[in-house]
Amino acid sequence: MLMAEVPWAYKKVVAMGWSDQEHLLIALEDGRILVFDIHGKEVSGFNIFGTAPGLLILEAHFWGNGVAVMGSDMQVHVAEGLAHVEPTFEPRAYR
């Protein structure tokens, strides 16, 4: 039985995963992290690189309430608090 359908207008998905709150988490190459509820409604989204221009996600891994990505600047960028409609985090970069 089909529960939901998501009309897709995005390109270059790097990774997908589920949060502990059963939200679908999607990392796009351009740095956007999208959060959808179980019915396919987009509930939030943000750019893990903030306002840094030109960075790309090379690899992404999700866990219960967060995401870690390897950026094209060869730093690991981390965001937590994805369960909230507006994530309360400051992306951190690790060298």
Token pair for residue 42? 């987009």
Q: Which pTM does this prediction carry?
A: 0.85
- Report whether 53 contacts 63 (CB < 8 A): no
Q: Say if residue 42's pLDDT is above 60.
A: yes
Nearest to 68 by CA among 27, 36, 10, 24: 27
Nearest to 47 by CA among 65, 71, 17: 71
Token pair for residue 41? 């409604």
Q: Say if residue 90's pLDDT is above 70.
A: no
Q: Bridge-partner residues for 16, per DSSP?
A: 26
Q: Say if residue 93's pLDDT is above 70.
A: no
Q: How far apart are CA 52 and CA 66, in angstroms?
A: 20
pLDDT for 94 equals 62
